[in-house]
Amino acid sequence: LAKTTQPISMDSYEGQEVNITCSHNNIATNDYITWYQQFPSQGPRFIIQGYKTKVTNEVASLFIPADRKSSTLSLPRVSLSDTAVYYCLVGNAGGTSYGKLTFGQGTILTVHP
């Protein structure tokens, strides 16, 4: 089971770029890396997913080094509405391995005016 480690909290200001790093030293060959965003009293929402190198979509970028033992979520030009908890999830529930889809503590991002 690929355990993930993230900073508990981060602070930023509007307009800045925010990078949140997740460590997953025992990631398996067929594991994917997925990031979620969660607002209070709501379900987590998928942000981005990758396997290796760099992935970019309309809201974020995901950087994964060659050894895949960590990943960095990059949020460009954050706004107040980006204040949320961000989770890194590592796994591949092929077959009956659904128990691998467990979440860590997450990172509380607070964006200040």
Give contact residues for another protein (rule: CB under 8 A). 30, 32-34, 36, 41-46, 49, 87, 89-99, 101-106
Nearer to another protein, 80 or 101 (CB): 101
CB atoms within 10 A of CB 27: 22
Q: Tell me which residue of 81, 80, 112, 103 sits closest to 5, measured CA to CA.
A: 103
Nearer to another protein, 45 or 112 (CB): 45
Closest separation in Å from C-beta 12 to another protein? 21
Closest separation in Å from C-beta 28 to another protein? 12
Closest separation in Å from C-beta 22 to another protein? 13
Sheet holding 107-112, edge to edge: 9-13, 107-112, 84-91, 32-38, 45-50
Closest separation in Å from C-beta 66 to another protein? 20
Rounded distance, CA 32 to CA 100, Å? 11
Rounded distance, CA 77 to CA 26, Å? 32
